[in-house]
A and B are shown apart, each in its own frame.
Chain A
């Protein structure tokens, strides 16, 4: 699945959250979406998921406008994980995976739950209520939910936020391996520059709703004359000038 974002813009009252952005999310690639808080990353993801109606511009899925393709068919091929949205806390992990498996129409659901529980090491707490889990456990459950339907496109919003280095590394490893094994397309919004450098093929830098730079991590770092992506991020975030 290829996703093309064309002249996408979102205005909330007098505030322009996303300002005429263009980019391609190529099949089987991982694109990083970087930028300071409030730069329009979540709004952009929301528009790509069909949760937010753009003020203008288009999101094309395999060259078809998102509004012209069957919404349910499209959503069954995507998924999303974010630490800012949660699964019902009073349901057990197993029940949550079963509910979402059914909503996504997953075939052989029991097998799929066993498989993903094994992969993400959830077996010890499948019968535990989701609200009783630690941050790291919740994060893995959220990731399991986002992969339950074997999505072709996965949107990840800060997948390792608030995780300790060990669990964070486990999640990054898992995403990396899963992507290689299943050839999926990933859009990753993150503030962890090491994570972005490790996982992303290309990166988009956003600031105040606009794309201010793009390319591979190495290209961007070189272009700004910095040693690493973190310093580059800081330079872009603190500069007053927009760069393209």
Chain B
């Protein structure tokens, strides 16, 4: 992989954000709204629920981490959709860049977009609700890594669909994360799910991430195996995502969609 090419492609998205104040505002707005909404819900639950008693911020921390996942995935999809909307797709695919460099550039730029939105929301939660995700300590880094890899994977799978089926696949991009959210056990323990769904849920990294987050905040202990498992599962899905993306790319070349997508 050539870093100057990855940088070149990233620059396209960085300029796009930098040139547009409404775009920056949009990136910041939604995570902040989430923090306000879940902050008040969180306060209500800590007062009225024995499970969450004295564990101020478990729900809000879960909401912030879920938003991190959501933003990572959506950022990835959005950058790909931007190419389709601007009808720049063909220019991109006739440029001398490898598919792996396109994936790398989108992955790196997605974190930039995600952090623009999330950092203010995380900082707002501290004075407003007395909740800081930094209370998770060092494990937070690893939980974020697992979430990011999985978020990117979902982004990859959706972009693979866009590549193969064209802009009509766009709606799936928005729906993809909501589909997995119930199985992710973001706000509730896995035991709430019916047995057969628990088996499916355990195959996703989300359950391991959010169970571990609750474990750290409620029990004040760190389960390294659970964190490692969440990263490992995320990596497996990522590899699968890359394979699906390549398959879609070759499928799109056969179908001829690379030359007229967006029209």
Contact = CB atoms under 8 A, between A and B. Distances in A.
B181 interface: no
A85 B96 contact: no
Nearest to B90: A85
A70 to B, nearest CB: 9
B94 interface: yes
Interface in B1-34: 2, 4-5, 7-9, 11-12, 15-16, 19-20
A53 interface: yes
Given A51-B258, A99-B9, A79 B94 contact: yes
A89 interface: yes
A52 B258 contact: yes
A52 B256 contact: yes
Interface string A24-44: 000000000000000000110
A157 to B, nearest CB: 10
Given A52-B253, A72-B97, A104-B96, A87 B91 contact: yes
Q: Is the interface of A mostly helix, strand, loop or mixed?
A: mixed
Interface string A43-87: 100100111110000000000000000011111101110101111
A90 B20 contact: yes
Given A91-B16, A104-B95, A46 B86 contact: no
Contacts of B88: 85-88
A79 B96 CA distance: 10
B94 A95 contact: no
Interface in B104-152: none
A60 B192 CA distance: 61
For the side of the interface on B, what is the size category?
35 or more
A51 B253 contact: yes
Interface in B51-78: none
A46 B5 CA distance: 23
Interface in A98-132: 98-105, 129
Nearest to A89: B86
Given A72-B98, A85-B91, A103 B254 contact: no
Centre residue among A50, A72, A90, A98 by max chain B CB count within 10 A: A90
A139 interface: no
Chain B binding surface SS class = helix
A51 B95 contact: no
A53 B254 contact: yes
B100 to A, nearest CB: 11
A138 to B, nearest CB: 11
B40 interface: no
B15 A46 contact: no
Contacts of A75: 94-96
Interface centre among B16, B19, B86 (most CB of A within 10 A): B86
B93 interface: yes
A126 to B, nearest CB: 14
B98 A90 contact: no
B253 A91 contact: no
B256 A95 contact: no
Interface string B233-263: 0000000000000000010011110111001
Given A52-B253, A91-B12, A103 B87 contact: no
A17 B4 CA distance: 38
B15 A91 contact: yes
A102 B5 contact: yes
A46 B19 CA distance: 32
B241 to A, nearest CB: 22
A49 B90 CA distance: 10
A232 interface: no
A103 B253 contact: no
A90 B258 contact: no
Nearest to A98: B11
Interface of B: 2, 4-5, 7-9, 11-12, 15-16, 19-20, 82-83, 86-91, 93-98, 250, 253-256, 258-260, 263
8 contacts: A75-B96, A78-B94, A85-B88, A86-B91, A87-B91, A95-B11, A95-B12, A102-B11
Given A75-B95, A87-B86, A89-B86, 8 more contacts: A42-B259, A42-B260, A49-B94, A52-B259, A102-B11, A103-B96, A105-B4, A105-B96
Top-10 shortest CB links A-B: A102-B8, A75-B96, A76-B96, A72-B96, A46-B259, A103-B95, A85-B90, A86-B87, A53-B253, A99-B12
